[in-house]
Amino acid sequence: MVKAAVTQITSTNDVAHNLKISEFVVRGAANEGAKVIFLPEAADFITNDAHECFLLSPPISKHDYTIGLQALAKELSVTLCVGIHDTPEATEDNSDGPGSERVFNSQVVIGPDGSILDVYRKIHLFDVALTGGASSAGPNGDAPVSNGSVTAGPPKKGGESSRIRPGMRINTPVQTEIGKIGLEICYDIRFPELHTVLTRLGAQIISIPAAFTLKTGKDHWYTLCRALAIQYQVYLVASAQAGAHNPTRSSWGESVVFSPWGVELARLKSIDEELGPIETRPKYGEVGSEMKGAWAVVEIDLEGEVDGARKQIPLAIQKRKDVYGVVGETA
């Protein structure tokens, strides 16, 4: 068995600060023996300003936050899975055309030698219309949360897609010290087709860095994570943003790890648990309004847990493709 760690932090629009708190949780997890460490979505920054989002999102080869983590991964000899923002390299196709300020919402896998093992670009963008406690956009979207409430109505034009460009492919699971990791990001968790394809491609662990809103975090997050682990017979590692990023944007937190049987192996605190309900919570900038960076270390047992669950309940060979087909059969 090999140890892995789930983490949570509170990113702001200060990239240097975010790198510092990321280093804090990575070092803490590595000191406890974790060989693969998972960081949240948008770990490099969270901002409400579209132009600032673009300015803080260089190509990965010039990305100060990622470069800092590459050096850290090499120093500690650990693998890191982390959510960042980036723009296309000069050699990549720029499908948005010249002048676009939309950026990618990516999950980057950094190997223990500091090299980039893979980059997944978020496929499903958070364009929704929530009422009574959440934004209609993602971690850098158009309608920031204000003390947990938002005006009712349809999503603003584009929602997250107004500043995030969607990814166009499902990545083959990445081989790491703890097994084959399938890559997703946040809102992807609601799309079973993606989980189906990743497990067909060999995923034993699914990594979902996230920045869930207060409403969807409280109502859906834990259930979605546990259900995914059970239904797809994988370890589910979900590192989440937690706390207030600025005066008008907060994330739920509650980073979790589940076994393929649905057993909770680790759970970090939600914003409500650490800071209290919204009615009594200290306002942004007040004493006691910050959540501390946190981590939890677990052991990954592929043979005992993944293989064991799949042998007991052999879903893969029981699919009735003669009746309904199989999503991603040719992936």
Q: Identity (one letter) of the amino acid at 171?
A: N
φ/ψ region of 328 (left if φ > 0, alpha if ψ in -120 to 50, else beta) reads: left
Name the domain count of the chain: 1
Is 204 a domain residue? yes
Q: How many angstroms separate the CA atoms of 67 and 89, rounded? A: 15
- CB of 166 within 8 A of CB of 125? yes
Residues 167-192 pLDDT 10s: 999 999 999 999 999 999 999 999 99
Q: Do strands 294-300 and 2-8 pair parallel, antiparallel, or not at all (unpaired)?
A: antiparallel
Is 161 a domain residue? yes
Question: Which has the closest alpha carbon to 207: 312, 83, 42?
Answer: 83
Q: How many angstroms separate the CA atoms of 24 and 331, rounded? A: 38
Q: What mean pLDDT do residues 231-236 have?
A: 98
In which residue are the tokens 């970090």 written?
268
Residues 106-162 pLDDT 10s: 999 999 999 999 999 999 999 988 776 444 456 665 443 333 334 444 444 448 999
Residues 204-229 pLDDT 10s: 999 999 999 999 999 999 999 999 99
Is 181 a domain residue? yes
Provide the CATH number for the domain around residue 231: 3.60.110.10
Catalytic residues: 41, 122, 186
Q: What mean pLDDT do residues 246-265 have?
A: 97
- CB of 202 within 8 A of CB of 177? no
Whether 7 shows a pLDDT value over 90: the answer reads yes
Is 330 a domain residue? no
Q: pTM for this structure?
A: 0.93
Q: How many angstroms separate the CA atoms of 328 and 263, rounded? A: 28
Domain residues for the domain of 200 are 2-324
Is 120 a domain residue? yes
Whether 16 shows a pLDDT value over 70: the answer reads yes
Residues 41-93 pLDDT 10s: 999 999 999 999 999 999 999 999 999 999 999 999 999 999 999 999 988 87
Is 49 a domain residue? yes
Q: Identity (one letter) of the amino acid at 124?
A: H
Is 329 a domain residue? no
Q: Identity (one letter) of the amino acid at 131?
A: T
Is 331 a domain residue? no
